[in-house]
Amino acid sequence: MASRLRVNPIMCEAHGLCAELLPELIRLDDWGYPIIDEAEIPRELLGLARKAADACPTLALLVDEDR
């Protein structure tokens, strides 16, 4: 099962919380919008990725799980 992070750019308002919660996979551009460094979430970071997605104030960060 592969899991991936993605950002809905229309919903994102550049709060930056995702990068604070998951700096291993997310960094911010000059305007504060997230850039996801890896296409696939490593298994050991999956729980943190889900927490970061749940904490997104605009629900713009998503964890897609291929089953």
pLDDT tens string 3-52: 999 999 999 999 999 999 999 999 999 999 999 987 799 999 999 999 99
The residue extents of the domains of the chain are: 3-65
Residue 62 pLDDT > 90, yes or no? Answer: yes
CB 50 within 8 A of CB 63: yes
Which stretches of 1-67 are DSSP H helices? 17-21, 46-55
Between strands 61-65 and 3-7, the pairing is: antiparallel
Right CATH for 3-65 from 3.40.50.300, 3.10.20.310, 1.10.1840.10, 3.30.70.20: 3.30.70.20
Distance CA 37, CA 26 (A): 6
CB 9 within 8 A of CB 33: yes
pTM over 0.85: yes
The pLDDT confidence band at residue 67, using thresholds 50, 70 and 90, is low
Quick check: 1 pLDDT over 80? no
The CA distance from 16 to 52, in Å, is 11
